[in-house]
């Protein structure tokens, strides 16, 4: 019985030491904390809001330009009419 204790006790201590070292040296949980999740969510919502603002501004600019500037077809028509007037005035 005494020999069994002399063999098992060091084996148990050795196993516990190896387990403790493996646990201490293993990488920690790489999951995101609640604060990191909140920061990522906030950044994503901010980016979506910014994209929506850019899209709305682009659409508003297009509407403004379409009402203040004549289209290329209209410009071409006016230049054709002006050339026709010059041509008829020369005759």
* pLDDT tens digit sequence for 40-71: 999 999 999 999 999 999 999 988 887 887 66
The one-character DSSP state at 73 is H
Give the angle 11-19-24 at the CA atoms, nearest 5°: 145
Residue 73: band (very low, low, confident or very high) from pLDDT cuts 50, 70, 90: low
* C-alpha to C-alpha distance for 73 and 83, rounded to whole angstroms: 15
Give the angle 50-35-48 at the CA atoms, nearest 5°: 15
pLDDT at residue 78, rounded to an integer? 65
* C-alpha to C-alpha distance for 29 and 33, rounded to whole angstroms: 10
Mean pLDDT of the region 23-37:
84
């Amino acid at each position: 019985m005494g020999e069994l204790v002399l063999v098992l006790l060091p084996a148990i201590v050795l196993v516990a030491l190896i387990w403790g070292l493996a646990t201490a040296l293993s990488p920690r949980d790489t999951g995101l904390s609640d604060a990191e999740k909140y920061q990522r969510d906030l950044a994503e919502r901010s980016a979506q809001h910014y994209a929506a603002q850019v899209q709305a501004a682009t659409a508003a600019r297009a509407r403004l330009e379409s009402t203040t500037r004549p289209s290329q077809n209209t410009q071409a028509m006016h230049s054709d009419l002006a050339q026709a007037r010059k041509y008829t005035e020369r005759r």
